[in-house]
Structure 1
Amino acid sequence: MSPSPQTKEAEIVMDPSLGYNASTMSGQNADKVYLFMKRMLDLLGSFIGLIILCPLFAVIGLLIKIEAPQGSVFFRQVRVGQNGKEFHMYKFRSMVANAEDLLEQLIDQNEVNGNMFKMKNDPRITRIGKFIRKTSLDELPQLWNVFRGEMSLVGPRPALPREVKNYNSYDRQRLQMIPGCTGLWQVSGRNSVGFDEMVELDLTYARERSMMVDIKIIFRTFKVLVGSKDAF
């Protein structure tokens, strides 16, 4: 059973280096300005990223096809976005073609708490898949989701429908925001952080978010990727 909101709220404190509380800004007008600027940053960042990274996309796609020619280069998966709206999230395929069919055989080996499945030595992951996961290169196609407005550069991790089915009313608050490619969870330990802590980090971000917070999270993400020991 998840702890009460009062208990949860005391578990994680916002890193003061990330910025100031958005609530100190002037109400709804400030929030509209922030959301507009956030969308402009998403559009500009995703567009430039997709153009610059085209050669890298081609190299990764070729390596994936060489190792596992029977599958697609991209993996398309249904995720739950803002206000519970489902969308197709894109990643580079890092697993064997029938990975979803094999999940039921591995579900009891889950290595994280709560409504997520993570397994460090997942046998479904290919050799190139291990590398692109370790470096988070598998996440790059999500720039297309950002460009389309289904995701943001910064926001909560987009949940799977099977995870959302087990959410309580407190957990569902994280669905009020557009999901992101990176966020407080990713820069705060990633897979070493349990589900309840991830939810609290997302809700902390909702309370504290601002352009300064978003930009600092993006820069912290690059630092995390350099030493991505928690990625699997």
Structure 2
Amino acid sequence: MKKFDADQPGYGLRRLASATCDTTVQGMLARASDPFFILPDQTVAPATRPAQIAGSVYRNGGKRLLETVLVVLSLPFFLPIMAVCMIALWVEGGNPFYRQDRLGRNGERFSILKLRTMVRDADAVLEDYLASDPEMRREWDEKQKLIHDPRVTRVGAFLRSSSVDELPQLWNVLTGEMSLIGPRPMMPEQLPMYGNPAHYFALRPGITGLWQISARNENRFSFRNEVDATYNEGLSVAGDVGIIFKTVGVMLRRTGC
């Protein structure tokens, strides 16, 4: 049996495809990671070549219309959940919301809205923690994320694991800054780690997406770049519907982060 090297191009997508049960999403991943599959004008790896992809009704307006309708229809269900979370965060101490800059479509900056999951003075807490643990410093420098983050509160840990902290971003979707489904929103300072952002900048970042449902523990930016390229190239109604259904499973199993 042929073995694949973890550093071999497409290895991460093959592993991601094999772990994804939804046939539509699995097909999207497996097709794009196949070394014998040639896309038009494929001269460099999917993660580095410019995103020159033919338009479609769904890509050029249908996706935006569908997601707006879905957000409006979901508000009666999600608003009471968000209200309960806001009360819990107030009791725990402080403003339940926070804003932070992200890079959106075409590289434009916008303020993402989330439920607060961290302690006050989170930056200082992080710096003290990283200064005391070189291994955690290496993990942070590579992935910009920690498995055991000392900044996260008790309520915040629940909100993260259930992905409920993302619900305020429904407002970002309604304003057109984000999509329901798309790449994970990138901080401006993370751009140099990401590589060529052509596929990322071709899309609105999403509340959920291909990376969010399948490989949240794989935080290398090169891998995220590869997944974003795969999603952009295979964008379709069926693929997005599959991602939505898998997102519900992630929320119910509380396997988010």
TM-score above 0.5, yes or no: yes
Q: CA deviation at 1:9?
A: 4.4
What TM-score do you get using the length of structure 1 for normalisation? 0.82
Q: Which residue matches 1:198?
A: 224
For 1:88, the aligned partner's letter is S
CA distance in 2, matches of 1:164, 1:193: 14
For 1:209, the aligned partner's letter is L
Q: How does 1:44-123 map to 2 (within 5 A)?
A: 44-68=69-93, 71-107=94-130, 109=136, 116-123=143-150
Which whole-Å deviations, capped at 9, do the CAs of 1:65-112 have from their partners, x for residues lacking one? 1011xx211111111111111100011001112213433334552585
Structure 1 pair 87–46 and aligned structure 2 pair: CA distance change class (3 A): same
CA distance in 1, matches of 2:177, 2:68: 11
Q: CA deviation at 1:150?
A: 0.5
Q: Which residue matches 1:12?
A: 13
Asked if 1 retains the 8 angstrom alpha-carbon contact of 2:102 and 2:111, the reply is yes
CA distance in 1, matches of 2:251, 2:184: 16
**Structure 2: runs of 5 or more not aligned:** 1-7, 18-22, 32-38, 41-52
Q: CA deviation at 1:120?
A: 2.2
Moved over 4 A (4+): 13-16, 110-115
Same amino acid, percent of matched pairs? 35
Asked if 1 retains the 8 angstrom alpha-carbon contact of 2:13 and 2:227, the reply is yes
Asked if 2 retains the 8 angstrom alpha-carbon contact of 1:111 and 1:118, the reply is no
For 1:185, the aligned partner's letter is W
Matched, 1:164 2:171: no
CA distance in 2, matches of 1:155, 1:33: 14
CA distance in 2, matches of 1:83, 1:102: 33
Structure 1 pair 53–196 and aligned structure 2 pair: CA distance change class (3 A): same
Q: Secondary structure at the match of 2:114?
A: strand
CA distance in 1, matches of 2:174, 2:144: 27
Which whole-Å deviations, capped at 9, do the CAs of 1:130-149 have from their partners, x for residues lacking one? 11111111011111101111
Q: CA deviation at 1:117?
A: 1.7
How many positions carry a matched residue from both structures?
Answer: 220
